[in-house]
Structure 1
Amino acid sequence: MRLEIVTTTLDETLLAAQAGADRVELVSGITEGALTPTWGSVKGVHDHAPIPAYCMIRPHAHGFVYSENDVAEMIADIQNQRGLADHFVLGCLTPEKTIDEAVLIQLVEACGDTPIVFHKAFDQTKDQKAALQTLARYPQIQRVLSNYQAVDLVQEIDRVQEMMNFAASLGIKTTFAGGINQESIQILKTIGAEDVHISSAARIDGLAKNQLDAERIQNFRRLCD
């Protein structure tokens, strides 16, 4: 199972790599739920990190419904990071909690041939199967970041597996995210999950505001193997 760790700097990315991460999601504003990283951090990670960086494109933490000005900012950030980011991580919704295709088309075009992950905005959609069918129309969108709205993974594992398989049937891979811990990794392995995404749980005391904890990452690495 591949291990993705959320990082905010080159130093954190190097620590994550040394501790066993397969890749990072590079962000800023981690305490705000993850925002677009600085160009300097993207450039530093591209030039010096030994593992891929999936770069967040999110201009603010006020939800996933974006204005024209928000979209222009996101496109500019994508254009600045093209050639540096291994993947872009993005998402956009309508007020009705569906995928905002008018915005998505613009973002996908800006990304060019850089692959895309649709982030956890996906977990706010009112109909996840319909949302996956929408995303499947865009070949650049290769992955979705989700726990499929599971509140209790033990009780809901059959439904989660069904959703994972449905996404796969559309050509979309799942990176499991949201409350991932030692127990949930073991459960996810039983259904053939291939990727997990760890944010606060990889930090000292499990708090987003704190520094990365190499020992925690190493423990997650052992569980994933």
Structure 2
Amino acid sequence: MIIEVCAGSLEDCLTAQVAGADRIELNSALHLGGLTPSLATVRLAKQAVTLPLICMVRPRAAGFCYSDREKAVMRLDAQLLLEAGADGLASGALTPDGQLDTSFTAELIALCHSHGAEFVFHRAFDVVKDPFDMAEQLIALGCDRILTSGQMATAPEGRDLLRQLQARFGQQMAFCMGAGISADNVVDLIRETGIAQVHASFKGWALDPTSSGNGVDYSYAQPDHYDLVLADKVTALKKALLEAGLV
């Protein structure tokens, strides 16, 4: 059983470790779905925590169809993150019609493996038309794991597809389910899908009173607050798993 914390800062990484998580996916800009973290954050996180650190490689918000210039940035980001000690990369690239960008994905997978790191195809998987064909292609390319909500807004809503993916491909590919997972639903989801890896942001809010003033407002979602990982939410989920005998 693996609990992966979706972290957006060095502080989140430290919280994840103290709270008993098993792995970290490190991003920036979680409110945009997660973008590439800074090298400074990665280097300091590698010094501060012992958990495996998976780094997002995503240059912008919105979709996953990237220009040649964006791919150049992603290649260099990927190389620098791996050199900084990332234990893996999470990324995903699609063609304009929503198919797998095969050549670029193969390139990123090969780069990861050349550094002894793993490659995770992230929730770009959830917008493709044929998840079974996509899974087969990723297995053929040597992808190590797929992060998915089962092509729904949340994993609880996508549990049927998650179960089918695990049953069909679980011996060839690791799946990690994410989105909408909490202490209240994690046990049922694991038992229903057979997937033993969960990913969540464990989101809370912290006050920054300088977020607004004089008619200017930089806050989002919560006025004058920013998001962060709450240790209590991580420990509550882990407690639910322990009580169910799943860890």
Give TM-score, length-normalised by structure 1: 0.90
CA contact (8 A) 2:57 2:74 kept: yes
Equivalence for 1:211:
228
Give the corresponding residue for 1:221.
238
Find the counterpart in structure 2 of residue 180 from structure 1: 181
The letter for the 1-side match of 2:229 is L
For 2:122, the equivalent position in structure 1 comes to 119
Mapping 1:1-225, distance limit 5 Å: 1-83=1-83, 84-111=85-112, 112=114, 113-139=116-142, 141-150=143-152, 157-169=159-171, 171-191=172-192, 192-199=194-201, 201-204=202-205, 209-225=226-242
Which structure has the highest helix share of the two? 1
Q: Distance in 2 between matches of 1:45 and 1:153?
A: 28
In 2, the alpha carbon distance for the partners of 1:159 and 1:66 equals 27
Change (3 A) 1:176 1:6: same
Larger radius of gyration: 2
Q: 1:93 to 1:154 in 2, by over 3 A?
A: closer
CA contact (8 A) 2:148 2:155 kept: no
Deviations 1:93-148, CA, capped at 9 Å, x for gaps: 11211111122123223322421010000001100000001101122x11100021
Which of 1 and 2 has higher RCO (CA within 8 Å, sep 6+)? 1
In 1: Cα distance, 2:54 partner to 2:29 partner: 15
Q: Judging changes above 3 Å, is the alpha-carbon distance between structure 1 residues 153 and 178 closer, same or farther for their aligned structure 2 residues? A: closer
Is the strand fraction higher in 1 or 2? 2
The Cα offsets for residues 193-221 of structure 1, whole Å up to 9 and x where unpaired, read as 2111002x432499793222111111112
Gaps of 5+ in 1: none
How many pairs does the alignment contain? Answer: 222
- Of the structure 1 ranges 52-61 and 3-12, higher mean CA displacement relative to structure 2 is found in 3-12
Displacement after TM superposition at 1:5 (Å):
0.7
Could you tell me the percent identity over the aligned residues? 28
Distance apart, 1:164 and its partner CA: 1.5
Give 1:47 deviation, angstroms: 2.0
